[in-house]
Amino acid sequence: MESVDSAEDPPVEALQSVFHLHETRRDGGRILYYGESRVPERMLVREVWPAFRRAGYEVQVTSTDSGREDVVVARPVSEGVDGVPWKNLSLLLATVVSTMFVGALTWYYIPFSEVTANPLVVLRAWPFTAAILGVLATHELGHYVVGRYHGVDISLPYLIPFVFPFGTLGAIIQMRGQMPDRKALFDIGVAGPLAGLVATIIVTAVGLSLPPMTVPSWAVQEGSEVIVFNNPPLLNIIATILGRPTEYADPTVTVHPVIIGGWVGMFFTVLNLLPVGQLDGGHIVRAMVGEAQERIAAFVPLVLFGLAAYLHYVLGNSLSESVGLWAFWGLISAAIAFKGPADPIDDSPIGPARMALGIVTFALGALCFLLVPIEVMTV
């Protein structure tokens, strides 16, 4: 670590009113300012952030190991993707493979013996993979594009491969930079669900327009149990507009697997709009109501546990169905809420136009909600 001349630093004068500077050093691309803060940490960041951001730096406050000095850390703002995003591409490839295999075995009813004999047969499931990944990637790219528009350091999407029933657990992005204000937080938060819903509607419409699938006899044996994915209201609305069925009286006929991409888009929209922590709903509500978001988030796990209890003790659903699903997300939402929401530098209100858009977004999300998304039925 080397000392640097303050004349070469970002605008040090922005620090003078709130920070007593002792020494300035450079550590790679970062610049570290050692001294004592004259104000609370949050106030210090809000005071110096605009000037440093204009100079191309983000600011964080920490302290030395001994705790005797405060350290203001300035690091250059990322301008985009540095080099080839190997991790993102590797996860994308793995998720393409996992969704094709799961799609072939589960939704295209290709026997496992046939898949092991000729793995390339899974390519028949490419429409399922395109539907699933198209919905998920569009959602996350909505966040990415709007995040870059606002100058926030945000990663490309990371797709997560998995097994049954969809071959993926979804996708995430990392917001590594600071959030400049509540308007940027709102725009980034709302962009994903809205972009994802557009893709979901398109995928659902395409799936409903494709011919139904024939289920082989070995998959529909009398007395066997099957997992049923029930229709969210939005899916029924699209089907009604197009005049297409979503189920058939003949148990050997079922809808095209592409429709599952639409179902996944709707279900993930509901989960992402939970108003807790760093989920999209948490970002949107934090931007809309400020710090009161944390009080709202505290009730979300209770509501989800309440749904699970109602399904189990009142409606008699088993733990293997939607009871376990909502109980699991009750635990997940509690953990996410505990970590807290994003903390924008500028906490000014977002204005009536964005408030209205936020309400519309949650209303669209409500059309994707289903009390019993999945259940086990006997054929």
Q: What are phi and psi of 111, to 5 degrees?
A: -60, 145
| The model's pTM | 0.87
CA distances from 82 to 86, 153, 155, 193 (A): 11, 12, 10, 27
pLDDT band at 223 (very low <50, low <70, confident <90, very high): low
Question: What's the distance, Cα to Cα, between the start and end of the chain in Å?
Answer: 70
pLDDT category at 5 given cuts 50, 70, 90 is: very low
Amino acid at 367: L
User: What mean pLDDT do residues 11-26 have?
Assistant: 85
Least confident of 59-73, 111-125, 276-290, 353-367: 59-73
Whole-number Cα distances in Å, 199 to 138, 269, 321: 7, 11, 27
Q: Tell me the helices (H) and strands (E) count for the chain, helix number first.
A: 11, 11
pLDDT of 3 over the 50 cut: no
Class of domain 2-76 as given by CATH: alpha beta
Q: Give start-end residues of each CATH 3.30.1360 domain in the chain.
A: 2-76
State the DSSP code for 269: H
Encode pLDDT of 265-278 as tens digits: 999 999 999 999 98
Residues 18-35, mean pLDDT to the nearest whole number? 86
